[in-house]
Amino acid sequence: MKDNITVQTSCQDTHGDTSLSVDEAKERLAASVKPVTSVESVAVRSALNRILAAEIVSPLDVPSHTNSAMDGYALRGEDLPAEGTAEFNVTGTALAGSPYEGTVSSGETVRIMTGAVIPDSSDTVIMQEHVERDGDRIRIDSRHRPGQNVRQAGEDITTGSTVLHPGKQLIPADLGLIASLGIAEVKVLRSLRVAFFSTGDELRSVGEPLGKGDVYDSNRYTIFGMLSRLGVEYMDMGVVRDTREDVENAFSEAARNADAIVTSGGVSVGEADYVTETLDKLGTVNFWKIAMKPGRPLAFGNVGDAAFFGLPGNPVSVMVTFYQFVRPTLRRMMGITTPETGTTVHATCLGGIRKRSGRTEFPRGFLEPQQDGSLAVRSTGKQGSGILSSMSHANCFIVLDADTTKVTPGDTVTVQLFQGMI
């Protein structure tokens, strides 16, 4: 069951004679899609990478009992000596999961382990390393403070407080946090479904022999990887041959089953007539020229209810356009509302880079800390849009904005880390 994801393409779109800036394209995409709304309940473990649909409110205090932060001895803070030493009788033991049932009177102490409930009438724990023990008696000096080494009930989370907000993609710590509240099931948004296929008569699937001029279809592998990491449900529809029937069937099937369709190849002007024709018939599509390198052409629109992203064919362009445009748009459709943090840093560029002004460029880089701890980045070498090894050997994009005309060694540049994104 699909709920409505309305895709609205702006009336300002053109068939490609004006260039959009990277930021304009991002804004238009964000404004054109809506998040999924259907909610389902899943077991906590199945909620990893899913998008939280309702607040998690704590039904209890965490910790639920005031307990010891150390192995040591529990006693009354008022018994601590202001100077000199004081002696106490050890009257019992409190273990994590096995509380001391009695009350601690003045002059008494209870041997206590980390996590054990603080016995009644005591409020202070002395570390065992600070105690001289002699049989059933201990002696302590005057360096201690009332209340020390004790974790108060509710100090982490209080009953009724909101622990997690909707719109968060759940990470391992969230699963633990939810479990720590005794909650077994969580409400999440239904998974976004994304169909993808490649177009191009020269494409062969892995396992097939290569004829003259053929290439193996690598884009379906990178797109598979990028979608998997994002946490969507994906549908791999293979290579679609350039016939009217195949193209039309592929788009219809994709639109019936998916919220979004990602294709690669065939978006250059004058290419793949059946693709354009079919898209015009089944939906609305605009071909955008984006002032960027690599990855200039991008088709965006809708096929039925599904959002459509037509990426360029060149393997590096596919990845750059996916990360810059498709990923943030799909995140929005998935219902993620938390901003992505920690993916952009500044670093010293170790080499020079030539660049044309008026477009954003995304050379691939390798970012590494220097001996003094500062960050430095170098380009991964040849940057052709067909050179996929430039992505494979990289750990970041060097983001050079439209105004930049060149980078001189030693300049500070903005770097977008793959870590976190991929």
* Residue numbers at the binding site for ligand AMP (CB under 6 A): 198, 200, 202-203, 215, 217-219, 264-266, 268, 271, 312-315
Cβ proximity to ligand AMP: between 66 and 218 the closer is 218
Report the alpha-carbon distance of residue 339 to residue 88 in Å, rounded. Answer: 55
Closest-CB residue for ligand AMP? 313
Least distance (Å) between residue 162 CB and ligand AMP:
45
CB of 271 to Mg ion, least distance (A): 6
Q: How far is the CB of 324 from Mg ion (least distance, A)?
A: 21
Question: What is the residue-wise DSSP string for 87-109?
Answer: EEEEEEEEBTTB---SBPPTTEE
Compare residues 266 and 335 and give the one whose CB is closer to Mg ion. Answer: 266
Give whichever of 242 and 305 is closer to ligand AMP, judged by the CB atom.
242
Residue 263 interacting partner from ligand AMP, Mg ion, none (CB closer than 5 to 8 Å by kind): none
Sign of CA dihedral 16, 18, 19, 23: negative
Q: Which is nearer to Mg ion, 182 or 386 (CB)?
A: 386
Which of ligand AMP, Mg ion, none lies near 203, with the C-beta cut-off 5 to 8 A by kind?
ligand AMP
By CB under 5 A, residue 200 contacts Mg ion: yes
Site residues for Mg ion, window 289-348 (CB under 5 A)? Answer: 313
What is the SS3 assignment for 231?
coil
Tell me the HSE value of 406 on the side-chain side, using a 13 A CA sphere.
5
Which of ligand AMP, Mg ion, none does 314 bind, CB closer than 5 to 8 A by kind? ligand AMP
Q: CA-to-CA distance for 246 and 256, rounded, in angstroms?
A: 15
Phi, psi of 349 (to 5 degrees): -85, 125
**For residue 198, how many other CB atoms are within 10 A of its CB?**
25
Residue 281 structure tokens: 């018939």
Q: Which does 9 bind (CB under 5 to 8 A by kind): Mg ion, ligand AMP, none?
A: none
Nearer to ligand AMP, 191 or 219 (CB): 219
Q: How many residues does the chain have?
A: 422
Task: Report how far residue 420's alpha carbon sits from residue 158's, in angstroms, rounded to the nearest whole number.
Answer: 31
Q: How far apart are CA 106 and CA 27, in angstroms?
A: 69
- The answer, yes or no, to whether the previous bond of 294 is cis (omega within 30 of 0) is yes
Nearest approach in angstroms of CB 279 to ligand AMP is: 15
Q: Which is nearer to Mg ion, 75 or 311 (CB)?
A: 311
Q: Which is nearer to ligand AMP, 174 or 217 (CB)?
A: 217
Q: How far is the CB of 3 from Mg ion (least distance, A)?
A: 34
Burial class (CB in 10 A: 0-12, 13-18, 19+), 259: buried
Contact positions vs Mg ion (CB under 5 A): 200, 265-266, 313
